């Protein structure tokens, strides 16, 4: 049986690979890696799995929000299929 790993804290904050909550700059950096790197790269493997799932499910023209340790980040997928983060 595969051990279960938690990717969100009780407050809904994204948890990083080291088990600590991510702050806004770390989430913005992860989105930059998501847009720039291929899926097999070591940099892509460092993105939290929950964040990859959210970004994969984001449809063109739609917006969602991800909660970080020090505030939330707005994520929008554009027509070029890239994710913009504010």
pLDDT of residue 2: 47
56 within a domain of the structure (yes/no):
yes
Count of domains for the chain = 1
pTM: 0.84
Domain that holds residue 38: 24-85
Nearest 10 degrees: CA dihedral of 66, 69, 70, 75?
A: -10
pLDDT per position as a tens digit, 4-26? 455 666 667 888 888 889 999 99
φ and ψ of 61, to 5 deg? 85, 0
45 within a domain of the structure (yes/no):
yes
7 within a domain of the structure (yes/no):
no
pLDDT of residue 19: 84
10 within a domain of the structure (yes/no):
no
pLDDT per position as a tens digit, 28-79? 999 999 999 999 999 999 999 889 999 999 999 999 999 999 999 999 999 9
Sheet holding 83-85, edge to edge: 63-68, 71-77, 83-85
49 within a domain of the structure (yes/no):
yes
1 within a domain of the structure (yes/no):
no
């Amino acid at each position: 049986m595969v051990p279960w790993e938690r990717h969100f804290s009780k407050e809904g904050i994204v948890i990083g690979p080291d088990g600590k909550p991510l702050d806004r700059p770390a989430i913005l950096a992860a989105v930059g890696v998501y847009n720039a790197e291929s899926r097999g790269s070591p940099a892509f493997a460092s993105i939290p799995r929950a964040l990859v799932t959210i970004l994969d499910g984001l449809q063109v023209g739609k917006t969602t929000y991800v909660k970080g340790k020090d505030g939330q980040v707005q994520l929008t997928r554009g027509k070029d299929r890239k994710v913009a983060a504010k």
